Structure 1
Amino acid sequence: MAKIPLPTCSTYDMLVVGASNAGLSAALVLGRARRRVLVLDGGPPRNAPAFHTHSFFTRDGAAPRQVLGIGREQLRPYPVEVCALEAQQAALTPAGVALTLTGGTVVTAAALVLATGVSDELPAVPGLAALWGRGVYHCPYCHGWENRYGRVVVYGRGEAGYQQAVLLHHWCSRLSLCTDGPAGLTPAQRTHLAALGVTILEAPVAALDGSLKCLRAIEFDDGHREPVDAVFLRPAQRQRSSLAAQLGCAFTADGVYVQVNETGLTSVPGVYAVGDMTGPFQQAILAAASGTRAAAALNNELIFRDSVAV
C-alpha cells in the first residue's frame, strides 16, 4: 500500500500515529472492524538499521522493511489510509481528538492510537552509532542466537551492566563486560561474573572499529584492542514524539514511558498507546500484539458507547 501525500478527508473513525509493527497491526484490526482509519507515518522504524527481524512468528529472519511492506500490503482491502505526513500537534475536542499535520492540515477522529515509539540515546563512543543494529545490539532475544559462538561484549557498568552480563552469558560463552572506566560493581558481583567466566574490562574506551556491516574490535585509550563480534548494551530512551505529553497522558514513575492499562488505554479517555513507547519489553512481535489488543479494546469500547439500548 503506497503512502498518500494528503488525507482524503478531515474526519475519520480512528487515527493511528506510527506506521511500524504496532501501528500497522492496530490499523489492520480497526480496518477489519469496518472503521475508517488514517495512519500517519512518522518516519523509519526503530529497527530500521537492523538486517533482520527475529523472534517474529512466521517472519523470523525477514528484513524489517519486508515485514512492514507485507503489513502495508495487507491493509489494502480495508478502509485504511497511510499518509506520509507527520502529526505535530494534538488536542482533545468534544468529539475526540484533533491532530495538526505537517503543512497545517487538521484531521479529527473519535479516538487515537499512539504508536510513536522511543529513541535510543546511545553512548557517545566513536563508531558506535554507525554500528547500531549491525553489530551493536540491545536485545539478546533478537540477536543472541546469531552471536552464540562469537566474541561478545556487554557495554555497561554498575547494576545494569552486571544484570545484562549475567543475562548474556546464557547465550555466549566468550563474554566480557566492558565498563568504560570504573566498573561500579560490588565484590559479590565481581565474584559471580568471574564464576560465570565473564571478563571485566575497565579501561576507558576510545572507539569501536568496524564497517557498516562488520564490527571488528573495541579500541581502548591505552592502545589495547579487543577483538569482538558483537556488543550489547541497554541505552537510555526517550519518547520519539511529544503527542502523548501534549494530550496530558500520564507517564511511568521514571518519566520515560507512557502509562497504560492492560489494553493500552492511557490516562486520557479515547487515547491508546502501544508498542515500545509503553515499556522496556521491546520486540517487534510484542509491539504488533499490543497494537492488536488495543485496537480490539478500542473498537469494543466505541461499539458499546455508541449503541442505543433498546
Structure 2
Amino acid sequence: MAPIGRGTGMKHDVIIIGGSYSGMAAALQLLRARRSVLIIDGGKRRNRSASHSHGFLGQDGVDPAELARVAREQLHAYPTLTWLDGEVEQATGAMDDFQVACGSTPHSARRLLLAIGVSDRLPGIPGLAERWGRSIFHCPYCHGYELDQGRIGVIATGSISIHQAQLLPEWGNTTFFLNGTFELDETAAEELTRRGVTVETTRIERIDGDADVVLADGRRMSFAGLFTAPQNEPSTPIAAQLGCELAETPMGLQISTGETRGTTVPGVFACGDAAKVPHSVSLAVGDGAWAGAQIHRSLVWPGA
C-alpha cells in the first residue's frame, strides 16, 4: 500500500479511530484538557441490535443508541473536537507524526487511539445471527436479570463456554448445549452438575421463534433467552497494519496493551473491547476514560 500523502490541515494532538463508548470516553478526558481531538467513526456500534443497555450505573435500561447520541452531543460542546463519519483505510507514521487516511483526505496527529471495537464470530447455527443482541446474548450482567429467572440456554463455542454455563444459573434454570464443539471431562461435568446445569449433547439444528432451540432429533426447547461466547477479533486491520502486537485470548484476538493502554508501537494506544476482556458498556467507558488520561500524560511527559 502506498504511503499516505501529507494533508494541508492542522495536526491534531490525538486521532481516535472509533467513536463508540470507549472512544468517546477517552475523547472527553482529552477535550477537557483542551487538546485537539479528531474522532473518525464508521457508525457500527457492536450493540446496535440491542434495545436496552443494563449494568451501567446511572444509565441502567437506557437504549444504547440514546447513550451514544447524548455522549456525542456532549462532546460537541467542546471547541477542540472534530468529528468525521467514515472508515479509516490506512494509518502510518510514528510518535508525534502519524497519518491517517479516511477517503481521499489525510489527517495527522501526535498520538493515535484505537477504539475500534471487535467483530463477533458467531456459531454458524441457522437463526442465531438474526437474534444476536435481541434474545441471544454474551453478557449475563447486561441481560440476565431481564429474563426474570426463566429458562436459559448456553450454546457452547469451546471450552471457555463451561465458565459461562457455570455462571448463568444465578439468572435461571440453565441448559448447556455442547453442540459437538468438545467433550466434557469428568471434573467439568461434576462442576456443572453441582451448579444444577443440565448438559445436552444432541446437536442444534436451528433456532426458531424468540429463543426456541430445535435439535437434530426433532425436539424443541423453549427458553427465555440464550447465551453464547463468540470469538472476537479487532473490527478493522488497522492495529496489525500499524505493527501493533496482537494477543491470543480464550475469547479470540485482542490488541496487546500495557497499564497505560499503550500498544507495542510507541504513540499508539488502544482501549475498549478490542484491547481487553470482559466486555460491557460500563467497562468500555471506564477503560476509555483511563486511556484518555494516559494519552494526555504522554503528551505532557513524552519520555515518561
Paired with 1:92 and 1:48, the residues of 2 have a C-alpha distance of: 32
Asked if 1 retains the 8 angstrom alpha-carbon contact of 2:38 and 2:84, the reply is yes
What letter matches 2:195 in structure 1? L
1:272 and 2:272 equivalent? no
| Alignment gaps of 5+ in structure 1 | 1-6
Give secondary structure in 1 for the equivalent of 2:75. coil
1:299 and 2:299 equivalent? no
Asked if 1 retains the 8 angstrom alpha-carbon contact of 2:136 and 2:211, the reply is no
Paired with 2:68 and 2:120, the residues of 1 have a C-alpha distance of: 21
Paired with 1:300 and 1:94, the residues of 2 have a C-alpha distance of: 14
Aligned to 1:4: none
Aligned to 1:74: 74
| Alignment gaps of 5+ in structure 2 | 1-6
* Cα distance, 1:197 vs structure 2: 2.1
Aligned to 1:206: 205
Asked if 2 retains the 8 angstrom alpha-carbon contact of 1:96 and 1:270, the reply is no
Q: Single out whichever of 48-57 and 176-185 deviates more from structure 2.
A: 176-185
What letter matches 2:119 in structure 1? S
Corresponding residue pairs, total: 294
Paired with 1:14 and 1:32, the residues of 2 have a C-alpha distance of: 13
Paired with 2:12 and 2:184, the residues of 1 have a C-alpha distance of: 54
Give secondary structure in 2 for the equivalent of 1:100. strand
Q: After superposition, where does 1:175-254 map in structure 2 within 5 Å?
A: 175-181=174-180, 184-210=183-209, 215-254=210-249
Give secondary structure in 2 for the equivalent of 1:169. helix
Paired with 1:182 and 1:16, the residues of 2 have a C-alpha distance of: 38
CA RMSD of aligned residues (A): 1.9
Paired with 2:83 and 2:238, the residues of 1 have a C-alpha distance of: 19
What letter matches 1:286 in structure 2? L
* Cα distance, 1:187 vs structure 2: 2.4
What letter matches 1:133 in structure 2? G
Give secondary structure in 2 for the equivalent of 1:23. helix
Give 4+ residue runs of structure 1 displaced > 3 Å after superposition: 7-10
Q: After superposition, where does 1:32-43 map in structure 2 within 5 Å?
A: 32-43=32-43
* Cα distance, 1:193 vs structure 2: 2.0
CA gap 1:182/1:295 in 2 versus in 1, 3 angstroms: closer
Identity in percent: 36
User: Scaled by the length of structure 1, what TM-score is found?
Assistant: 0.90
Asked if 1 retains the 8 angstrom alpha-carbon contact of 2:158 and 2:182, the reply is yes
Paired with 1:8 and 1:19, the residues of 2 have a C-alpha distance of: 24
User: Scaled by the length of structure 2, what TM-score is found?
Assistant: 0.91
CA gap 1:158/1:252 in 2 versus in 1, 3 angstroms: closer
Q: After superposition, where does 1:91-240 map in structure 2 within 5 Å?
A: 91-93=92-94, 95-102=96-103, 104-156=104-156, 159-172=159-172, 174-181=173-180, 184-210=183-209, 215-240=210-235
* Cα distance, 1:235 vs structure 2: 0.7
Asked if 2 retains the 8 angstrom alpha-carbon contact of 1:10 and 1:106, the reply is no
